Amino acid sequence: MTATLYVCTTCKAGETHEDDSQRPGARLHRALSALETPQDVQIVAVECLSACKAGAAVALSQPGKWTYVYGHMTDADAPDILTGAAAYAATDDGLVPWRERPVIFRKQSLARIPALKLPAEAAE
């Protein structure tokens, strides 16, 4: 299974740009895409994660694991975001030990959501 790193490409983070490609969210997505994607992680661009007051925002999600949303990310955080995504992908439940989380993940969590039970599990 592969963990998905969602990146909001429309995040403005309080900046004003005539060119949407210069938005902080779009810049963050480019910075992440320019680096080597960790094994078992896929990067998916999303138009709006509805975290507009706390952008730029990213989310980590995978079936059977807790979902995490992080805010106030910048392109300079791209390496740490990928390190954190790789640690997340390596867990069974999405719960990375606190000390192994990048500082930006420890301090800039917007929310986490429990793993949904998949229909197959719910029927067991």
| Nearer of residues 62 and 88 to a copy of itself, judged by Cβ | 62
The residue within the footprint of a copy of itself, chosen from 21, 22, 44, 93 (CB under 8 A), is: 44
Question: Which 3 state secondary structure label does DSSP give 82?
Answer: helix
If binding is defined by CB under 8 A, does position 93 make contact with a copy of itself? Answer: no
| Nearer of residues 68 and 88 to a copy of itself, judged by Cβ | 68
The residue within the footprint of a copy of itself, chosen from 12, 30, 40, 54 (CB under 8 A), is: 54
CA 110, CA 67: separation in Å to the nearest integer? 11
Q: How many residues does the chain have?
A: 124
- Structure token digits, residue 20: 């949407």
The residue within the footprint of a copy of itself, chosen from 35, 76, 103, 118 (CB under 8 A), is: 118
Closest by Cα among 118, 116, 56 to 5: 56
| Nearer of residues 63 and 79 to a copy of itself, judged by Cβ | 63
The neighbour count for residue 61, using CB atoms within 10 Å, is 19
Query: Least distance (Å) from a copy of itself to the CB of residue 116?
Result: 5
